[in-house]
Chains A and B, each alone.
Chain A
Amino acid sequence: MIDLQVLTQAVGDLDEKTILTMINDFVATNPSGEDAQKVVFACQQGMAIVGDLFERNEYYVGDLIFAGELLSTTIDILKPVLSGVATQKVGSIVIGTVQGDLHDIGKNIFGSMAEAAGFNVYDLGIDVSPSAFVEKAKEVKPQIIGMSGVLTLAIDSMKSTVKALNEAGLRDSVKIIIGGNPVNEDACKQIGADAFTTNAAEGLKTCQGWVK
């Protein structure tokens, strides 16, 4: 049986070789869906270590991106043995880079970390119009909407998106978090979001707090 503590630590260390060897060996034993769930959980705990190291300035954004990539590779390998098990999701988030902005690095980091933490993530991509956010929110009824942007114009687009959600009567049923270079407390108030962050790990903690 796979040593889950060793796996958690390997994820925390971002030790790609060890992780892939362990996961591949594990899948080769034709494990049960339940055991596979435990492995996913161990990986998520490893990601929590990554988040802590990031907060302590031992890891930086490049490391988070690498962590996200490692984790999605891992989940892909596990998928065949996970199928058939009802995966428990902690909540659902709709994310996107707002209209007029094409920068998606921050959004992608947040998305992969949120997915790793067990959220159902609906990523609308880049240059997303307010109406596209509204349509998706109507369709999947997420607990959280995450808007991302790097340009200062993103602030205006975020404002229009919140307005559109308001007009569609959806504002009160979701929490809204904004992320990216130009956001700060003042911008957050102006936009009418519930929280802001310039740091994906911190943003994820905020979201986890909301769905507890």
Chain B
Amino acid sequence: MTDVVALTNERNQMFRDLFSGKTPKRVPISNPATQDFAIQYAGLDLAECQWDLTKLEPVYDKFCQDFITDTYPGGSIRIPSHYQLLGSTPIIMSSSGFMQHPEVVGLLAEEYDQFIASPYDCIIETILPRLYTELNGEPGKVAMALAKAMRVHSDDMAYLGTIRAKMNAKYGFATMGAALTEAPFDFMADFLRSFKGISGDVRRYPDKVSAACEAVLPLMVKKGTLPNPSMLGYTFIPLHMAPYLRDKDFAALYWPTFKKLIETLAEMGQTVQLFVENDWMRYLDYLYELPENTIMRFEYGDPKLVKEKLGKKHIVSGFYPITLLQTGTKQQCVDKAKELLDILAPGGRYWWQADKSIINLEASGPVVENLRAVLEYVHENGTY
């Protein structure tokens, strides 16, 4: 067995231990910087590299070489080509070359009943044609656009998969699968009703919101299912809307189908990673009810309180403030990592990740040096 294969095996074992509630040999690390960051780090043009993926292999090689991490640092990313071919309005490239999500409305308030009757039919017939201009029009035109988009997406993913396999073979990362899904309420909010739309719906027709969440739940389960539930990996669920709701709206409209989603995935034997965005501190008692070993990566909050309330049942992650990498000294950045290790590592069930992804790199700024120092510190000192 080569050293690299041994390294992969060792890292896989760390995550197997972590996900099953055992204490791994050290605290596993995931680099919070993303492909966008990596392209800028290599000094290349962001937009060009996202269109011409052949430029990405040396980008990833340098990125993997220079920043210690246990998992491949090319997680969920959006590639522009199929969005372009579909005439996307919900995901577009900004002037700076980042793929972003402006506020859109895919479903009108008066279409709730249609959605509830058959969510997937409504998605195909009403929502997608509204959000993707090329899916709106003559059937022949739509068929062509969809075929091209599906093919380019498949090619792009295969190409990125090849790079990933090469990097795994060279750097010995853990080999994990991931599936992406959303809490039903968040799904209804993000691309369908919009932040503004759902905020009104919650007050105007809560019953319809609730029925729509129930109706879409099976789709969310299916979307979040790994090809093989026993494989090493997790369902990734970014959480959005709960912090913006009143407690009673959360309890009535967000929580019931969200809880069912997580429980169903857990019963299938899958690990779930929640990206707990914004401030969930008032919902910690709810989170406690979720199945054992659910991973919760926090963006915000009191790490001590979270460790105390959830740390014996769930796997805690996140909290490391990436803005500090931009504004702090190297010593301050390392001290922060130590502070979080001291709070979150004892007793196990801790995975080092940051509070957010790092997508931007200001070439003259201190982020590169600070990030490397923090990753190295945690790698060397991350004992439980």
Q: A contacts B directly in the complex (CB < 8 Å)?
A: yes
Cβ distance A83 to chain B, nearest Cβ, rounded Å: 27
- Interface mask (A23-59 → B, CB under 8 Å = 1, otherwise 0): 0000000000000000000000000000000000111
Interface residues of B, CB < 8 Å — how many? Answer: 34
Asked if residues B249 and A152 are in contact (CB atoms below 8 Å), the reply is: no
Set A59, A61, A99, A153: member contacting B359, Cβ < 8 A? A153
B362 within 8 A of A: yes
B204 within 8 A of A: yes
Tell me if A's interface is mostly helix, strand, loop or mixed: loop
Cβ distance A153 to chain B, nearest Cβ, rounded Å: 3
Cβ distance B45 to chain A, nearest Cβ, rounded Å: 14
Asked if residues B323 and A187 are in contact (CB atoms below 8 Å), the reply is: yes
Asked if residues A100 and B196 are in contact (CB atoms below 8 Å), the reply is: no
Please report the C-alpha to C-alpha distance between residue A15 and residue B204 in the assembled complex, in whole angstroms: 10
Chain B residues within CB distance 8 Å of chain A: 92, 94-96, 98, 100-103, 195-196, 198-200, 202-204, 241, 243-246, 249, 282, 322-323, 326-328, 356, 358-360, 362
Asked if residues B326 and A103 are in contact (CB atoms below 8 Å), the reply is: no
Please report the C-alpha to C-alpha distance between residue A63 and residue B98 in the assembled complex, in whole angstroms: 30
Chain A residues within CB distance 8 Å of chain B: 14, 16, 57-63, 65-66, 69, 99-105, 108, 126-127, 129, 151-153, 155-156, 182, 184, 186-187, 190
Contacts between the two chains (Cβ within 8 Å), count: 93
Please report the C-alpha to C-alpha distance between residue A62 and residue B209 in the assembled complex, in whole angstroms: 14
Set B244, B249, B326, B359: member contacting A155, Cβ < 8 A? B326
- Which residues of the other chain, A, contact B360 by a CB distance below 8 angstroms? 100, 151-153, 156
Cβ distance B31 to chain A, nearest Cβ, rounded Å: 15
Cβ distance B365 to chain A, nearest Cβ, rounded Å: 8
Asked if residues A151 and B362 are in contact (CB atoms below 8 Å), the reply is: no
Closest 10 CB pairs of A and B: A153-B360, A100-B96, A61-B244, A62-B199, A186-B327, A102-B100, A65-B199, A62-B244, A66-B199, A102-B102
Asked if residues B327 and A152 are in contact (CB atoms below 8 Å), the reply is: no
Set B203, B243, B323, B356: member contacting A61, Cβ < 8 A? B243
- Which residues of the other chain, B, contact A187 by a CB distance below 8 angstroms? 323, 326-327
Q: Chain B residue with minimal CB distance to A185? A: B327
Q: Chain A residue with minimal CB distance to B323? A: A182
**A60-B246, A151-B359, A153-B360 as given contacts; A127 in contact with B323, CB under 8 Å:** no
Q: Chain B residue with minimal CB distance to A60? A: B244
Asked if residues A60 and B243 are in contact (CB atoms below 8 Å), the reply is: yes
Asked if residues B203 and A105 are in contact (CB atoms below 8 Å), the reply is: no
Please report the C-alpha to C-alpha distance between residue A156 and residue B327 in the assembled complex, in whole angstroms: 12
